[in-house]
Amino acid sequence: MPKTYSKSVPSSPVTTAEKPVRKAISTRTRFEIFKRDGFKCLYCGATPPNALLEVEHIIAVANGGSNDRSNLCTACQNCNRGKSDKPLTAIPKPLVEVAQEAIEREAQVVGYAKALKKIKDRIDSDAWTVAKVFMVRFGRDDFRRDFMQSVIQFLKLLPTPTVVAAMEIATSKYTSTEYGCFKYFCGVCWKTIKGAPNERQ
């Protein structure tokens, strides 16, 4: 009997919905979430050292939730482990609102810090502009720290051009001593502040 050969046909693979993979949350991200939420469980309000805090997904990973910070919140170990894939919408509304306020507060703190830094950088730069008028007049390559602090304070009260003009007046009219010149400069600034309050920043 002749040999026969059969070609086996592989069966079609059975496809099932792929289960979402939980990605690890870094230590830095965890502590940033803790700080944002005030180191408090958003379920029960527990705080350390009475509770061990964890970062929880608002929409569970099993339900398609991501590691985006808007989907993360602080929960104590007891609440987190008991919640499983129960959505955070089950939390009483006031706590949800607290979480939203915490996110907004964090954004405002960050924005405020950036604004303050921008103002400080601008004042520091302007202060050296004023100082250079003095340094050129007296042939110096440095500027006293106490003088600089005074210049910075005047720049917080007066427009930069006004403070620069005050230093130019002082260096042109009072040239006998550095201290006397700077004292004259301070006098001009104070006189301007008292006599022209509308020029203040």
pLDDT in tens, 70-95: 889 988 888 887 754 555 555 555 66
Average model confidence (pLDDT) for the chain?
Answer: 80
61-70 mean pLDDT: 85
Structural domain spans, the chain: 27-91, 115-199
| CATH number of the structural domain 27-91 | 1.10.30.50
Q: State how far the Cα of 26 lies from the Cα of 144, in Å rounded to an integer.
A: 46
pLDDT above 50 for 117: yes
Residues 184, 173: contact at Cβ < 8 Å? yes
pLDDT above 70 for 141: yes
pLDDT at residue 20 in the model? 57
179-201 mean pLDDT: 81
pLDDT at residue 94 in the model? 62
pLDDT above 70 for 8: no
Q: How confident is the model at residue 5 (pLDDT cuts 50, 70, 90)?
A: very low
140 contacts: CB under 8 Å, gap ≥ 6: 134, 178
Q: Provide, rounded to the nearest whole percent, the portion of the chain with pLDDT above 70.
A: 76
**Number of Cα atoms under 13 Å in the Cβ half of residue 141:** 0
pLDDT at residue 89 in the model? 56
